[in-house]
Amino acid sequence: MVYNIAMDMFVALSDPTRRAILEILASSGELSATAIYEHFSVSPQAISQHLKVLREANLVVMEKRAQKHLYSLNQETLSQFEAWVQQTRQRWEERFSTLDTVLEHEKQQLARDEQESR
User: If pLDDT is split at 50, 70 and 90, which confidence band does 72 have?
Assistant: very high
**Identity (one letter) of the amino acid at 50?**
H
| 2 pLDDT higher than 70 | no
| 1 pLDDT higher than 60 | no
Contacts of 47 (CB under 8 A, 6+ apart): 17, 21, 33, 36, 37, 40
* Cα–Cα distance for residue pair 73/30, rounded to 1 Å: 8
User: If pLDDT is split at 50, 70 and 90, which confidence band does 10 have?
Assistant: confident
* Cα–Cα distance for residue pair 88/69, rounded to 1 Å: 35
The per-residue pLDDT of the chain, averaged, comes to 89
Nearest 5°: the CA angle 38, 40, 41 is 110
Q: Residue 78's pLDDT is what?
A: 82
Q: Residue 83's pLDDT is what?
A: 87
